[in-house]
Structure 1
Amino acid sequence: MKVKDLELFSEIINQKIYIWKNNHLYLVNKNNINGNRALIIKLLAFAKTNTFTLIKHESEHALIVPCPKNILIYIEIKHNSKIKAFNLSSVESLLSVRQTGEFVYKLYTGQDCPYSFITFKNTEQNSSIGRQTSQKTVVSPELLFKNESLILDSISKLDRKSVKEALRGLTHVQIIGEIFANNNLIRGEKDTLISFIASLTQTVVMSGLPAKEAYELEDSLIQAIELRPTLPLFTEVIQEIVWIFYNQLLDHRKKAVSSISERTSNYIQNHIREKITLSGISSALNTPKQTLNKAFEAKYSITINQYIRNKKICKAKELLRANILNLEDISKFLSFSSKSYFVQTFRQITGFTPKNFQKKNNNTI
């Protein structure tokens, strides 16, 4: 735990940082004057696990960063801060807050932050603000956050059914996102969407989508959202964004599977005379055996070992038709362990012994 690094960071940004640990609140920089500790402890109650919490209280903001072992880090963000958070109508501000949270997490724990989603809370509002359904009930923004982990997990597994179920849980939501920027409802929706896009981006990158491709998609979606003066029904936008990321990852996986299987097939063709093993292919292509098998079976519907045997027997047929080499020579030429094993394999695949195949072929000619 690098408390001294946090203390230095507190001085650099000229803001107070507190640590909540074992039911006690500690001020990181002893040179600072303690703030309203009772208020801070009250605000810490809004913290959520696995997400940053950005709180607006009167004219100030605070960022809460949850760490392992139920430790919370509370960062004041005042108007003179070097963190661009007091103007939340700016995308740059929102991204700066997220980067600050990730940086503080790593400073304190020494590990990369495993989350990037931001939850917003305006303490001036006694309840979550939302449009009403036809039954005149107010829908809580927590519905999105409760479904977020399920949506992200389902996308990483490319589980279409689970994605649909998670999105179905948002069907009755008319508005998600609190008013936290100049009482601007559209701004609240946009910033919530931008945070969600950031989480989706991180998920697909961790699931194998190239970072450049993922961040280009993120930038284009954020730009599209920012340029729109109004938004359609909020849940429709959420669903559209989710399926965009899902399909992007799916297309990448399909291309990757095709590439791996084709490289495997080419390797086998080019080394057909040798003793080919799965370990040898894995080493040559620098790809785990499990990945090779899964990709190959997805495209060819047979295992790699079956494919090797089939290709060797195809080559053996050519040699038998040429009638140049005897069975002993053919078995050695194709690196079978013995003549008897070659004959056995040939019969299993073709239904004929090599000699019967040769006779049948000669009679046909």
Structure 2
Amino acid sequence: ADHSIDSGLSLNESAKIRMELINRVYQQQIVNFYSEIKKIVWAYFDKLKNHNREDGAGVAFICRNYIDGNLEKKLTLHEIAEKGNVSKQTLNPIFKKRYGVTVKQYVNNKKIELVKKMLADNKKNLQEISNYLSFVDKSYFVKIFHSITGVTPKKYRHELFDKK
């Protein structure tokens, strides 16, 4: 049930399925418990599969997980779309519907979240951070950081350590 919710099924829909299945189990004398459990699990998967087909949540979820696990790479929309087994043109609307941002915005936001942590660690300079996260170059990295946070990475780091 938790996985179905994490994958995009509404809380109400998941709870409804859960109650239907629990009632079915209690109303029957179960001869083969494992067989019944298997039916319950497959009922969730069928419902989730149909839901994901309808709104693309499964594709968005797969692509988001791929992005989250590969932030240090230079991620392209083509590569991400391939992981979701869809075209580039199909992915962005699905992703935006599910997460409220385009794929590129999501990638940049996640990278900047990581940059903030790296700046707080104060172990790498800006060039090393830019290289590690596969930004085109340091100036592009600074531009993206500034557009998302409103300050430069250097100022962000200084503000962190001036507070301490």
Percent of matched pairs sharing the same residue = 39
Q: Is the 8 A contact 2:145 2:151 kept in 1?
A: yes
Partner of 1:361: 160
Give the distance between the partners of 1:254 and 1:298, measured in 2 at CA.
14
Q: Is the 8 A contact 2:52 2:58 kept in 1?
A: no
Residues 348, 359 of structure 1: alpha-carbon distance in 2 compared, 3 angstrom cutoff = same
Aligned partner letter, 1:341: Y
Give the distance between the partners of 1:336 and 1:295, measured in 2 at CA.
25
Deviation at 1:290, TM superposition (A): 2.2
Give the distance between the partners of 1:293 and 1:340, measured in 2 at CA.
26
Residues 255, 362 of structure 1: alpha-carbon distance in 2 compared, 3 angstrom cutoff = farther
Deviation at 1:363, TM superposition (A): 2.1
Which of the pair is proportionally richer in helix?
Answer: 2
Partner of 2:116: 317
Is 1:306 the counterpart of 2:87 in the alignment?
A: no
Residues 356, 288 of structure 1: alpha-carbon distance in 2 compared, 3 angstrom cutoff = same
* Secondary structure of the corresponding residue to residue 314 of structure 1: helix
Match of 2:84 among 285, 291, 303: 285
| Cα shift readout 1:318-348 (whole Å, capped 9, x = no counterpart) | 1000000000000000000111111111111
Alignment of 1:171-190 (within 5 A): none
Partner of 2:56: 257
Match of 1:336 among 135, 139, 142: 135
Match of 1:295 among 90, 94, 110: 94
Structure 2 length-normalised TM:
0.66
* Structure 2 residues without counterparts, runs of 5 or longer: 1-46
Partner of 1:346: 145
Aligned partner letter, 2:133: L
Give the distance between the partners of 1:315 and 1:331, measured in 2 at CA.
11
Aligned partner letter, 2:60: S
* Secondary structure of the corresponding residue to residue 337 of structure 1: coil
Report the more deviating stretch, 286-295 or 322-331.
286-295
Which of the pair is proportionally richer in strand?
Answer: 1
Aligned partner letter, 2:79: G
Give the distance between the partners of 1:253 and 1:268, measured in 2 at CA.
19
Give the distance between the partners of 2:96 and 2:162, measured in 1 at CA.
37
Deviation at 1:284, TM superposition (A): 2.6
Give the distance between the partners of 2:84 and 2:58, measured in 1 at CA.
11
Deviation at 1:306, TM superposition (A): 0.8
| Cα shift readout 1:89-129 (whole Å, capped 9, x = no counterpart) | xxxxxxxxxxxxxxxxxxxxxxxxxxxxxxxxxxxxxxxxx
Aligned partner letter, 1:252: H
Aligned residues between the structures: 116
Higher relative contact order (CA 8 A, sep 6+): 2
* Structure 1 residues without counterparts, runs of 5 or longer: 1-247
Match of 2:68 among 269, 273, 283: 269
* Secondary structure of the corresponding residue to residue 56 of structure 2: helix
Give the distance between the partners of 2:145 and 2:97, measured in 1 at CA.
25
* Greater radius of gyration (CA): 1
Deviation at 1:252, TM superposition (A): 3.2
